[in-house]
Chain A
Amino acid sequence: MSATAVRTRARDSASSWPLLDRVGLACCWAAGLALAAVAAAIVLYMGWKGISQLKPSLLVTHPTGDVDQSKAGGFLDPLEGTLLLTGLGILLAVPIGVATALWLVEYGRPAPLARAVESGVEIIAGAPSVVLALFGLTVFSSSGLSFMSFRASGADEAFGRSFAIAGIVMSLIALPSVVAAAREALMQIPNHVREASLALGKTKAATIRRVLLPSIRPGIATGTTLGMGRIVGDTAIVVLLLGNTLLTEPQTDVPVLGLLRGTGSTLTSYVYNNSPAGEGNAPDKAYAAAFVLMVLVIGLNALAARIARGRDGGPAWIR
């Protein structure tokens, strides 16, 4: 393009539009800028509060239930609780979710059953987490399943509360993201890939394991990170299923099982409990923990976005 000067794209000016259209355009700008302003306000405020209240020592000291904020300790236990619960929930959700997606896409028969499973997942996705938590609380305090539950020393009543139970219920809220992402990925694999594998004499099971599973790994990763984001950010389940403790309390000294049957807290329940709505009232600590929480969740979401990038940019991350 040597001699000719090439103009880049020119936009039309709104000045000749009818008044109503110009008003619409102005509203459009106003809405966009308002949204940006809200986001900026949250980032700045939480960043400022977080950075001014967060000391590294908070991350490694146990909380104490002290009324005096300066003596209330750090949030080591909630941090551990968050990690434990997230790990637990995701460990349950991913295999079940991927298996469900595989069955739905690759087998899916009898068809009515497949549709029922689909609607079931839909129901879980739509059910408020507090309802799931309530369900878990009652089911696991019933006598048959109470072995998983924490018991206060001396009391023989099971509360239906423990990390194990919270983890199981958490897996339910992560499940829809995993199923959706895995299904999406499976459906994007063109049929000739499956046919090619079958034509080589591989069985369907081998095709799934050797061909399909490896190629949907990015989809599973997206679903997993999104599910983790949901678990980390959920509060209702923790408040109901771990209770109002701050410290991690293993049920017995048995290393893993004792912890799973014990209770504790997570960052979300810590923030809730330290806000004026909860029992302790330590807003500074709540801000610091909320900052850490935000960084975690946003990190997870950014990660999911990164993994999902390059594939179709649909809003899979909304759930």
Chain B
Amino acid sequence: MRNAALAAKLRPRAAGRRLTRPERAELWLGALAVGLLALIAGMLVFVFRQAWPSFAHNGLSWFLPGGNANTQLADVYHSPADPAHYVYTLRAWPILYGTLLSTGLAVLFALPFSLLCALFMVEFAPPGIARLMTPTVRFLAAVPSVVYGLIGILVLAPWINDHLVSASFKLDVKPIVPIGGGGLLLATLILTVMIVPIMIAINADALRSVPRSWLEGSAALGVNRWRTWWKIGVRTARPAIAAGVVLATARALGEAIMLAMVSGSFIFAPNPLDGLNMLLEPIQPLAATIVVGAEGLSVKPYGQTLYAFAAVLLVSSMFLSIAGWAARQPMRRHGVR
């Protein structure tokens, strides 16, 4: 048998030679995997090619503030049919800013909250409560985003509108921006609720896999349970926690429907000068902008503009994947994982 294998290796591959069955299996499986890869690569190329005109026409100012993005998008949508006169002018800063703001704030709130919840779950909750926490987290992670959006738009947005928005503020800004209940605050709040379970799950898993001997070593030195978990547990789990942050950020960035429902759906850059009222101002993050504009995809320049948003999202999610990988590296120094 070995001779036969050797002979097969030595024989030059004849073009029409029949493949043996194992070889065929490998070939088929490999072809499928490579086909998948080709599809993904094709998708990347396609998205970036479609997105190119929008970037090319605006240059770097695509990413900068200037003018009203709502009217700019409307102009793009209504551009003349003649390809020579397509309108592409767009300053997408308010969209990017809204995305950064909602995602960043949500992750900022979710990180300490999820870490505390994970610690509670793993160590500090009495056994009865701890047993209930896992299904709770699973439940929150499983609720579809459209349900979160529904609760946001039907329950929370009216409540915010009635209780938090002052009439004078509404009147003041009325010429510039409509204030309903939906806006930065609501978007951030629901995003937080959506990403917290992911982060809790990852954090709790990481905390559980901290070697017991380290925790016992710390306890044996007379360090109390809180410090032991904080200094040894959380410290050891840091890379996984960072990876969880990255995953949650990617999830928040890509969330479209829920944000289209509760973010106010008006392209606006919340103004820090408005103080806390800034939280009530509407935003329209990238993914939500795509959903809201999808009907206009058949208008070529508009479609290409949407692809530009998609390209930004794809690039960010790829960077986040790399960041997630990098986040898992540092503990190698200490020989962990």
A-B contact count (CB 8 A): 259
Q: Is the CB of B321 within 8 A of A122?
A: yes
Closest Cβ of chain A: how far from B292's Cβ, in Å?
A: 9
A99 within 8 A of B: yes
A21 to B223, CA, bound (A): 11
- When distances are taken between beta carbons in the complex, the residues of chain B under 8 Å from A236 are 256-257, 287, 291
Q: Is the CB of A272 within 8 A of B146?
A: yes
Task: Please report which residues of chain B, range 30-70, place their CB below 8 angstroms from some CB of chain A when the two chains form the complex.
Answer: 30, 32-34, 36-37, 40-41, 43-44, 46-47, 50
Main secondary structure of the interface of A (DSSP, over half): helix
A277 within 8 A of B: yes
Q: Is the CB of A235 within 8 A of B146?
A: yes
B294 within 8 A of A: yes
Chain A residue at minimum C-beta to C-beta distance from B261: A277
A233 within 8 A of B: yes
Q: Is the CB of B142 within 8 A of A116?
A: no
Q: Is the CB of A317 within 8 A of B138?
A: yes
- When distances are taken between beta carbons in the complex, the residues of chain B under 8 Å from A156 are none
- When distances are taken between beta carbons in the complex, the residues of chain B under 8 Å from A317 are 138, 141, 201
A310 within 8 A of B: no
- When distances are taken between beta carbons in the complex, the residues of chain A under 8 Å from B317 are 123, 126-128
A229 to B143, CA, bound (A): 10
A25 within 8 A of B: yes
Main secondary structure of the interface of B (DSSP, over half): helix
Closest Cβ of chain A: how far from B308's Cβ, in Å?
A: 11
Q: Is the CB of B36 within 8 A of A130?
A: no
Q: Is the CB of A36 within 8 A of B136?
A: yes
Q: Is the CB of B30 within 8 A of A107?
A: yes
Q: Is the CB of B321 within 8 A of A138?
A: no
A138-B50 contact in complex given A12-B224, A131-B314, C-beta closer than 8 Å: yes
Chain B residue at minimum C-beta to C-beta distance from A135: B43
A73 to B154, CA, bound (A): 21
A271 to B152, CA, bound (A): 13
Encoded as 1 (CB less than 8 Å from any B CB) or 0, chain A from 214 to 232 comes to 0000000000000001001
Chain B residue at minimum C-beta to C-beta distance from A34: B113
Segment among B77-85, B117-125, B268-276, B328-336 that sits at the interface with chain A: B117-125
A-B contact pairs, 26 of them (CB 8 A): A12-B225, A16-B224, A28-B119, A28-B124, A35-B136, A35-B196, A42-B143, A43-B139, A103-B26, A117-B33, A120-B41, A128-B253, A128-B254, A131-B314, A137-B294, A203-B20, A203-B21, A229-B142, A235-B145, A272-B261, A277-B153, A277-B265, A297-B143, A315-B201, A318-B198, A318-B247
CB-CB nearest 10 A-B residue pairs:
A128-B254, A233-B144, A32-B120, A205-B25, A31-B116, A103-B29, A235-B257, A120-B40, A130-B256, A126-B317
